[in-house]
Amino acid sequence: MSFPTRNPLLCAGRSASEVSNATGAGGALDACFANTRVLPTGPKYNGRMRYWMGMDEAGYGPNLGPLVISASVWEAPDGPDGADLNRLVEEAMASAARSTADRGPRWIVADSKAVYQSGKGFSTLERGVLVALGLLGQRPQTWRGVWDALAPGSHDARQAHPWYADFDAPAPLEAGAEVVASLAPRVQRSLASVGVRLVALRSRPVFESEFNQLVDRHGSKGTLLSQAAMELASRCVNAIPRGFVAVVCDKHGGRSRYRELLTQWFPDHVIEVYREGRDESLYRFGPAERRVEFRFRAKGEASLAAALASMASKYLRELAMRALNAFWCSRVAGLAPTAGYPQDALRFKEAIAPLQRRLGVDDRLLWRCK
């Protein structure tokens, strides 16, 4: 899909080069859906709505910091396939671009790897997530506030880790509060013009100590990822009050068969297998008035819903790493920050080892075993 270069609001599903050019869980989730309203029926829309949900993770490979899985849920007019959400949003933003000469910062939604690379692009990533939260009426002003907005059940888990427990900072960190505040209502009006609404944006962080416990329980981090992702997916799907639900997930470790996993998390339904292959595995279940579809895709983040989930996961992980680095770097002279990936994580761990022993920090609280 292509986007007007003057579009001041959004770029979705774009490549890293295109994005670069453009820029120069639980009760709280249920509450989001409790406020869902049916959009007015008009000549353009028949009143039948469906929900699009996208999921993605960040932090699967590192040894330091959390694994974060996120889901974004959108309401849109009923249509034949998932490309309709991307098309409708493109239509809305193109219309907004034609009606304004504003060349200021855009709301960019794309795979987090295209939006952000270590050392650059953090403001674009942060702006994307915080504008999305603004669409949901949430305007966090601190590091802790962002966590509470995206992962409202994560407080106790954060408190169990000294580097997260006492950390806080103003939010946004880099994006500019005024820009975020001005973009959110403009994006909301543009989306409403085509009958699209962001319904929820939720994350499931797996912090270091829980990560190790779940690997012990499940035997592999691949199974851990699948179980944690389906936990979040089932909460989101079960909270949606009505209508067709289409879910797009990135493939878990390249596997192609997910029927058993879906049966585990949706035990009241017969899971229908439509295809299982290298590029995509497709499943459906539920009665005619409440069909649920799961697509596990290679490069699932091409979907707008999965792209926003990817950004939320990456944003929370980056916030976590800022806290972890602040804790240890402020206590070990000359220590360079780490992104937590294996080779550099070893360098970091060796440097903090004496202090870790003095503080009595257990390895299973700090170091992910896989």
Residues 6+ apart with CB under 8 A from 47: 38, 39, 41
Residues 6+ apart with CB under 8 A from 357: none
Contact 66, 208 (CB under 8 A): yes
- Tell me whether residue 338 is in a domain: no
> Helices 304-329 and 83-98: crossing angle, nearest 10°?
80
Beta bridge partners of 10: 107
For residue 29, the model assigns a pLDDT of 42
Range of 310's domain? 10-321
Q: What is the CATH number of the domain that holds 313?
A: 3.30.420.10
276 is a domain residue: yes
Is residue 108, in this structure, part of any structural domain at all?
yes
User: Does residue 153 belong to any structural domain of this protein?
Assistant: yes
Give the model's pLDDT for residue 9.
45
Q: Which of 68, 65, 158 is nearest to 366 (CA)?
A: 65
| Helix 143-150 vs helix 122-135: crossing angle, to nearest 10 | 50
pLDDT (0 to 100) of residue 98: 64
Residue for token pair 């939320």: 312
Cα separation, 270 vs 291, whole angstroms: 12
Backbone φ and ψ for 73, nearest 5 degrees, come out as -125, 130
Compute the radius of gyration of the chain from its Cα atoms: 20
- Does some domain include residue 39? yes
Packing angle, helices 177-192 and 122-135, rounded to 10: 50
In a domain, 105, yes or no: yes
From residue 185, alpha-carbon distances to 121, 179, 188, 192, 352 in Å are 23, 11, 5, 10, 45
Q: How many domains does the chain have?
A: 1
Q: What is the pLDDT of residue 107?
A: 85
Amino acid found at 252: H
Residue 66 lies in a domain: yes
Cβ atoms of residues 50 and 78 within 8 Å: yes
pLDDT at 41: 31
Whether residue 64 lies inside any domain: the answer is: yes
List the pLDDT tens digit at each of the 370 positions of the chain: 222 222 334 444 444 444 444 433 333 344 433 333 333 333 333 346 789 999 999 999 999 999 999 999 999 887 645 557 888 888 777 766 666 556 677 888 888 888 887 667 799 999 999 999 999 999 999 999 999 999 999 999 999 999 999 999 999 999 999 999 999 999 999 999 888 999 999 999 999 999 999 999 999 999 999 999 999 999 999 998 788 999 999 888 778 999 999 999 999 999 999 999 999 999 999 998 889 999 999 876 678 999 999 999 999 999 999 999 999 999 999 999 999 999 999 999 999 999 999 999 999 999 999 8
CB–CB of 185/193 below 8 Å?
no
Give one word for 176, left, alpha or beta, with left for phi > 0 and alpha for psi -120 to 50: left
